Amino acid sequence: MSTDRRTTSEKILNAISNRIRIEIIKKLSRAGEYSFTELMTELNMSPRTDAGKFGYHIKLLSNSGIIATNPKNGRYILTDLGKMLADLIWELEEITRKKEKKILVRTSELIMEPFERRKITEALMREARAPRKIAEIIAKEAEERILQSNISYLTAPLIREFVNAILLEQGLEDYRHSLTRLGLPVYDVERMLEMSRPTALVPIEIHAKAGNAVMSEYALMKELPRRISEAHMSGSIHISNISCWGLKPATIHHDVSFFLKYGLKLGELGYIFSNSRGARSFKEALDIILRLAYIMHSSISVGQVVDDINVVLAPFIRNMKYDEIKREIKEQLIRINQLFSYEGKLLPVAFGMSIKDESEYFEEELSLFRAFMEVMCEGDHLGRPFLTPLPIIKLREKDLDKYEEEVQLLCKLISKWSTPYIINLDWQTNMAVSYCWDLSRLSKGEGDVNRLKRTGQLDSVLINLPRIALEANGNDEIFFSKLNDAISISIEALREKMRILKKRMNNGLLALLTMNAGDDPYYNLDDAYGNIGYVGLSEAVKIHTGEEMTEDDDALRFAEKIVNYMVRKTSKRRIKVKVSGISVEDPGRRLLKTDIARFGIRSLQEELGRNLNKYTSGTNVPYELKIPLKTRINIESRFQRMTLGGHGLNIFLKNPIPEPNYLFKVLSELIESKKLGAFTFSKDFTYCRKCGSMSDGLYDRCPKCRRSINNIVNYVKEVNVYQPVNIIKARYRNKYII
Q: Above 50 in pLDDT, residue 446?
A: no
Residues 433-457: b if buried by 16+ CB within 10 A, e if exposed: bbbbbbbbbbbbeeeebebbbbbbb
Alpha carbons within 13 angstroms on the beta-carbon side of residue 594 total 20
Q: Above 70 in pLDDT, residue 97?
A: no
Question: N- to C-terminal Cα distance for the chain?
Answer: 105
Residues near 343 by Cβ (< 8 Å), separated by ≥ 6? 204, 205, 208, 212
Task: Give me the pLDDT at residue 114, please.
Answer: 67
Task: Give me the pLDDT at residue 271, please.
Answer: 62
473-510 per-position pLDDT tens digit? 999 999 999 999 999 999 999 999 999 999 989 888 88
Share of the chain above pLDDT 70, in %: 87
Q: Above 60 in pLDDT, residue 261?
A: yes
Q: Above 80 in pLDDT, residue 733?
A: no
CB atoms within 10 A of CB 354: 19
Mean pLDDT of 287-300: 93
Q: Above 50 in pLDDT, residue 734?
A: no
Mean pLDDT of 292-310: 94
User: DSSP string covering 671-716, please?
Assistant: HHHT--SEEEEE--EEEETTT--EEES--SS-TTT---GGGEEEEE
Task: Give me the pLDDT at residue 654, please.
Answer: 87
Kindly indicate the confidence band of residue 727, based on its pLDDT and cuts at 50, 70 and 90.
Answer: low
Mean pLDDT of 280-302: 94
Closest CA to 44 of 14, 74, 24, 66: 24
Q: Which of 89-98, 150-159, 489-498 has the highest mean pLDDT?
A: 489-498
Report how far residue 606's alpha carbon sits from residue 621's, in angstroms, rounded to the nearest whole number.
20
Closest CA to 350 of 420, 442, 423: 420
Residues constituting the chain: 738
Is residue 159 within 8 Å of 151, Cβ to Cβ? no
**Whole-number average pLDDT of the chain:** 85
618-654 per-position pLDDT tens digit? 999 998 888 999 999 999 999 999 999 999 999 999 8
Is residue 355 within 8 Å of 666, Cβ to Cβ? no
| Rounded-to-10 torsion of CA 178, 184, 186, 188 | 150
Is residue 120 within 8 Å of 163, Cβ to Cβ? yes
Task: Give me the pLDDT at residue 149, please.
Answer: 73
- Of the listed ranges 243-252, 444-453, 491-500, the least confidently predicted one is 444-453
| Rounded-to-10 torsion of CA 231, 234, 239, 240 | -170
Share of the chain above pLDDT 90, in %: 46
Q: Above 60 in pLDDT, residue 317?
A: yes
Task: Give me the pLDDT at residue 1, please.
Answer: 42
User: SS3 for 255?
Assistant: coil
Mean pLDDT of 702-709: 81
Report how far residue 575's alpha carbon sits from residue 306's, in angstroms, rounded to the nearest whole number.
25
CA angle 51, 54, 60 (to 5 degrees): 140
Task: Give me the pLDDT at residue 311, please.
Answer: 94
Mean pLDDT of 700-709: 82
Task: Give me the pLDDT at residue 566, please.
Answer: 97
Task: Give me the pLDDT at residue 50, please.
Answer: 80
Residue 585 is given by DSSP the state S
Is residue 267 within 8 Å of 299, Cβ to Cβ? no
Closest CA to 697 of 732, 658, 654: 654
Is residue 711 within 8 Å of 697, Cβ to Cβ? no
Task: Give me the pLDDT at residue 535, please.
Answer: 97
Alpha helices in 152-235 (DSSP H): 156-169, 173-179, 186-195, 202-218, 226-234
Q: Above 70 in pLDDT, residue 127?
A: yes
Q: Above 80 in pLDDT, residue 223?
A: yes
Residues 469-478: b if buried by 16+ CB within 10 A, e if exposed: bbebeeeeee
Q: Above 90 in pLDDT, residue 662?
A: yes
Task: Give me the pLDDT at residue 624, please.
Answer: 83
Reported pTM: 0.78
Report how far Cα 333 is from the mean position of its chain's Cα atoms: 28
Spatial strand order of the sheet with 694-696 comes to 694-696, 685-688, 712-717, 722-725
Domains of the chain: 3-84 (1.10.10.10), 102-181 (no CATH), 684-738 (no CATH)
Is residue 539 within 8 Å of 615, Cβ to Cβ? yes
* SS3 per-residue string spanning 720-732: CCEEEECHHHHHH
CA angle 430, 431, 437 (to 5 degrees): 55
Q: Above 80 in pLDDT, residue 714?
A: yes
9-60 per-position pLDDT tens digit? 777 787 778 888 888 888 888 777 888 888 888 787 877 778 888 888 888 8
| Phi, psi (rounded to 5 degrees) for 38 | -60, -40
Task: Give me the pLDDT at residue 431, please.
Answer: 87
Helix (H) or strand (E) holding 348: none
Report how far Cα 339 is from the mean position of its chain's Cα atoms: 22
Task: Give me the pLDDT at residue 99, please.
Answer: 60
Kindly indicate the confidence band of residue 189, based on its pLDDT and cuts at 50, 70 and 90.
Answer: low
361-404 per-position pLDDT tens digit? 999 999 999 999 999 999 998 888 999 999 999 999 999 999 99
Report how far residue 127's alpha carbon sits from residue 115's, in angstroms, rounded to the nearest whole number.
19
Report how far residue 365's alpha carbon sits from residue 127's, in angstroms, rounded to the nearest whole number.
58
Q: Helices 156-169 and 132-148, interaxial angle, to 10°? A: 120
605-616 per-position pLDDT tens digit? 888 876 778 899
User: DSSP string covering 308-338, please?
Assistant: THHHHHGGGSTT--HHHHHHHHHHHHHHHTT
Preceding peptide of 658 cis, ω within 30°: no
Report how far residue 436's alpha carbon sits from residue 439's, in angstroms, rounded to the nearest whole number.
5
- How far CA 164 is from CA of 139, 188, 554, 675, in Å, comes to 11, 22, 52, 57
538-559 per-position pLDDT tens digit? 999 999 999 999 999 999 999 9
